[in-house]
A and B are shown apart, each in its own frame.
Chain A
Amino acid sequence: MSAETVAIIDYGSGNLHSAAKAFERAAREAGLDATRIVLTDEAETVAKADRVVLPGVGAYADCRRGLDAVPGMVEAMTHAARARARPFLGICVGMQLLATRGLEYDTTPGLGWIPGDVGPIRPDDPALKVPHMGWNTLEVDRDHALLAEIPTGADGLHAYFVHSFALSPERPGDCVAHSDYGGAVTAMVARDNVAGTQFHPEKSQRLGLALLANFLRWRP
């Protein structure tokens, strides 16, 4: 197998350096030393990549604008994920952008790959604070390769979340895992070769590095 290239899309959303470092470490630990992790704002690189990662922090509309501002990037992502069916991972707002639309401030169109809306979290316990910030466990709704070998459930490992909005997939089968925060909050979605995590694997220590390694090995 020839060395793979993983493109992390740089569109001005927050710090991508630590995401790249986390992928590099996950690749090393998984014995995938030849895997190349590249941070890129070039559509061409993304269109040709073997795997694509869309990170994102901040407000939905701001991230969407940033993505649209990179010439040809949405088309390149779409080419890689849809035409070439390459493994694709959205993280945090990058995962939310997979939805049909975001309802933060104004209504903003998403990519529509995982049909559903991104709306405010409303915990049923008024004592629960928003943002949902910190470490929570994952409740698995359906098995998925990205969660292979990762202990989940109440006694499982924890993932780091920081968000005030969440994706509600229209098709229940698209929700892979949720967390409990005054009700179910979508933690991970997937359909075919496209997956997304609301939590930050690059900040989630053991669970995160294991998930990133699973992504690097994923053959959907």
Chain B
Amino acid sequence: MLKTRIIPCLDVKDGRVVKGVQFLELRDAGDPVEAAKAYDAAGADELCFLDITASHEDRGTLLDVVSRTAEACFMPLTVGGGIRTVADIRTLLLAGADKVSINTAAVNDPDFVARGAEKFGSQCIVVAIDAKRTSGPGEPAAWQIFTHGGRKATGLDAIDFARTVTARGAGELLVTSMDRDGMRSGYDIGLTRAIADAVTVPVIASGGVGSLDDLVAGVRDGGASAVLAASIFHFGQHTVSEAKAHMAAAGLSMRLDL
């Protein structure tokens, strides 16, 4: 039986983990490769690096991090942030990424998703959907796509956009609630569910995890195939194996190898 995936996500800037990973005795808490190895050993099902390096010219350090991670961790790695061209995708895949997560470039031009999928296969094209709820209380639920870390509205309906990029060949959607991100109040279940019900590809729930019950809700109520979380793992609130045990106890199918 296919298992629900837990995906720790590391924000990487100029080749360093932003805020660091604080729960383990790493020689260098800011080294993404050290953190990746620790999560590999802890039983994470996949890993995600989100590159928040400001300048496109400074991406060499990220490629080095990706390649060193791929040499040390025999698990799937997704890399997102600043991907604009087919050449960017190729460079990351050759460095050792298994999937790339595309955000702004897909919003600006959904055909970019198709070009990536045709060249490299749908299996490696993840589209990151950053959405905010735009409906008021009592209105039918609606969400809009935002870019630039939630600052820039696009006018695009999130559910329509999910259908559009899936039709163009996205193999997976990473759905982040910009309302919930960093709030530790749980995923936006309505958003996750609406998108999971609208597309045939797997959905990863993201944005807002504060407790292990939030992970359960993302799958059970949100219909997600995988859950992404950052701070509850990085700051030692919970380990990946605690999360898996909790989700398994709630009746979800988890991979408990180790």
Summed over the interface, the residue pairs from A and B with CB atoms below 8 Å come to a total of 112
Interface bracket on B = 35 or more
Determine if B121 is an interface residue (Cβ-Cβ < 8 Å).
yes
Return B217 CB to nearest CB of chain A, in Å: 17
- The verdict on A209 contacting chain B, using a C-beta distance below 8 Å, is yes
Q: Which residues of chain B are near A148, meaning CB under 8 Å? A: none
Residue in chain B with minimal CB distance to A137: B1
In the complex where A135-B255, A136-B3, A154-B1 touch, is A59 in contact with B121 (Cβ < 8 A)? yes
Contacts of A17 in B (CB 8 A): 67, 70-71, 94-96
Q: What string of 1s and 0s marks CB contacts (under 8 Å) between B190-206 and chain A?
A: 00000000001111000
A contact face: mostly helix, strand, loop, or mixed: mixed
Q: Count residues on chain A whose CB falls below 8 Å from chain B CBs.
A: 41
Selected from B120, B172, B200, the residue in CB contact (under 8 A) with A57 is B120
Task: Give chain B interface residues in 217-231, CB to chain A under 8 Å.
Answer: 225-226
Chain A residues near B201: list those with CB within 8 A. Answer: 129-131
Cross-chain contact A134 with B171 (CB below 8 angstroms): no
Q: How far is the CB of A164 from chain B (nearest CB, A)?
A: 7
- Known contacts: A14-B120, A17-B67, A21-B71. The answer to whether A135 contacts B2 by CB under 8 A is yes
Name the distance in Å between A155's Cβ and chain B's nearest Cβ. 9
Cα-based distance from A14 to B70 in the complex (angstroms): 13
Given contacts A14-B93, A18-B70, could you give 11 more A-B pairs where the C-beta distance is less than 8 Å?
A17-B67, A58-B120, A131-B122, A133-B171, A134-B3, A134-B4, A160-B75, A162-B98, A181-B2, A203-B75, A205-B257
Q: Which residues of B contact A (CB under 8 A)?
A: 1-5, 40, 45, 67, 70-71, 74-76, 93-98, 118-124, 171-172, 200-203, 225-226, 255, 257-258
